[in-house]
């Protein structure tokens, strides 16, 4: 019987799975599935998405007898202990691994970025959160309040704000904006009023899909540009708050890493965040290497200890 460990990064838009040999950590397979972020009361649905993605990865391994000895899941939406316990129980019920460990998506990304060292990771995709570890080992988070309360600077937040701009422009409360036509086209609608039922039925992932529309429109439209600038400012505030809390001063030396779909190296939002960091958090040093959160989950699995220990 060959034993494997599985690392899972579950976000709002997709789920990434890595399978590695427990013996030596060699990566054997990967897979992707739909988003598995946990909404309150819906842990079983997230568990089923994760189980399916893990099964798809395991099917790629040509071994007659194989087991997942430890599954480490880092998923959005489990910042509270109750959600962690519910997801863990749901995964255990599905019997996909001998042992299950549930962490937040920020915790596994932090592990991949810094391997236990001090630093701060900012994640911006469908949602947003920053998570950090100070020089003394103290950990703290900022943001990650979810789409109904916060997630400032995230894709869903940008999408919601863009809809408000279109409504205000249609009313005459703001000047006309190219966002109107761009968003109606993206949503396949004809009139601004059609956005009311569309938005009522839209989930966070659907709203986040409007963020690229805002980015492309921002190259020529002042209102769209102002929204992207505001999103960057909100994300920088996450980093500034954690720098002060964990390192005592935003001018202290601190390593910063970025993850999530909106923070890829060439993205316009990342460029604005990096530019604003120079004055808002002058002690920040940005890591250029890409972060693979599921790889951080594998690192934790091979160590066999939770990120919070």
Residue range 126-170, pLDDT digits in tens? 899 999 999 988 999 899 888 889 899 999 999 999 999 999 999
On whether residue 54 sits in a domain, the answer given is yes
Please give the pLDDT value at position 76: 83
Could you tell me the CATH number of the domain that includes residue 60?
3.30.420.40
On whether residue 286 sits in a domain, the answer given is no
On whether residue 77 sits in a domain, the answer given is yes
On whether residue 190 sits in a domain, the answer given is no
Proportion of the chain above pLDDT 90, given as a percent? 67
On whether residue 79 sits in a domain, the answer given is yes
Query: Does residue 297 register a pLDDT over 70?
Result: yes
101 and 72 Cβ atoms separated by less than 8 Å: yes
- Residue 279 CB neighbour total at 10 angstroms: 9
Contacts of 183 (CB under 8 A, 6+ apart): 162, 163, 166, 195, 210, 213
Q: Which domain holds residue 61?
A: 2-111+292-303
pLDDT tens digits along 192-214: 999 999 999 999 889 999 999 99
Q: What is the DSSP letter of 198?
A: H
For residues 87-105, give the mean pLDDT. 91
On whether residue 7 sits in a domain, the answer given is yes
On whether residue 57 sits in a domain, the answer given is yes
Number of domains the chain contains? 1
For residues 283-300, give the mean pLDDT. 90
Closest among 198, 211, 203 to 162, alpha carbons compared: 211
pLDDT tens digits along 41-94: 889 999 999 999 999 999 999 888 888 999 999 988 887 888 888 999 999 999
Query: Does residue 106 register a pLDDT over 90?
Result: no
Please give the pLDDT value at position 309: 43
On whether residue 129 sits in a domain, the answer given is no
């Amino acid at each position: 019987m060959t034993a494997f460990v599985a690392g899972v990064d579950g976000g709002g838009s997709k789920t990434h799975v890595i399978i590695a040999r427990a013996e030596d950590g060699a990566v054997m397979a990967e897979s992707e599935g739909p988003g598995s972020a946990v909404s309150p009361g819906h842990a079983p649905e997230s568990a089923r998405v994760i189980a399916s993605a893990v099964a798809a990865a395991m099917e790629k391994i040509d071994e007659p007898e194989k087991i997942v000895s430890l599954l480490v899941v880092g998923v959005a939406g489990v910042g509270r202990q109750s959600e962690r316990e519910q997801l863990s129980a749901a995964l255990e019920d599905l019997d996909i691994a001998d042992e299950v460990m549930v962490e937040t998506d920020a915790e596994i990304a932090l592990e991949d970025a810094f391997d236990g060292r001090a630093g701060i990771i900012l994640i911006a995709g469908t949602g947003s959160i920053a998570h950090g570890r100070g020089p003394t080992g103290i950990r703290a988070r900022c943001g990650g309040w979810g789409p109904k309360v916060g997630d400032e600077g995230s894709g869903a937040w940008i999408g919601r704000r863009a809809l408000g701009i279109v409504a205000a422009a249609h009313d005459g409360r703001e000047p006309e904006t190219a966002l109107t036509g761009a968003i109606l086209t993206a949503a396949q609608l004809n009139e601004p009023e059609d956005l009311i039922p569309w938005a009522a039925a839209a989930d966070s992932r659907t709203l986040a899909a409007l963020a690229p529309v805002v980015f492309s429109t921002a190259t020529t439209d002042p209102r769209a540009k102002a929204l992207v600038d505001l999103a960057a400012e909100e994300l920088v505030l996450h980093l500034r708050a954690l720098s002060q809390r964990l390192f005592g001063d935003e001018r202290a030396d601190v390593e910063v890493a970025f993850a999530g779909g909106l923070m890829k190296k060439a993205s316009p939002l990342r460029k604005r965040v990096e530019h604003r960091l120079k004055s808002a958090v002058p002690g920040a040093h940005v890591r250029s290497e890409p972060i693979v959160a599921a790889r951080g989950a594998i690192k934790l699995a091979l160590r066999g200890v939770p990120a919070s220990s």
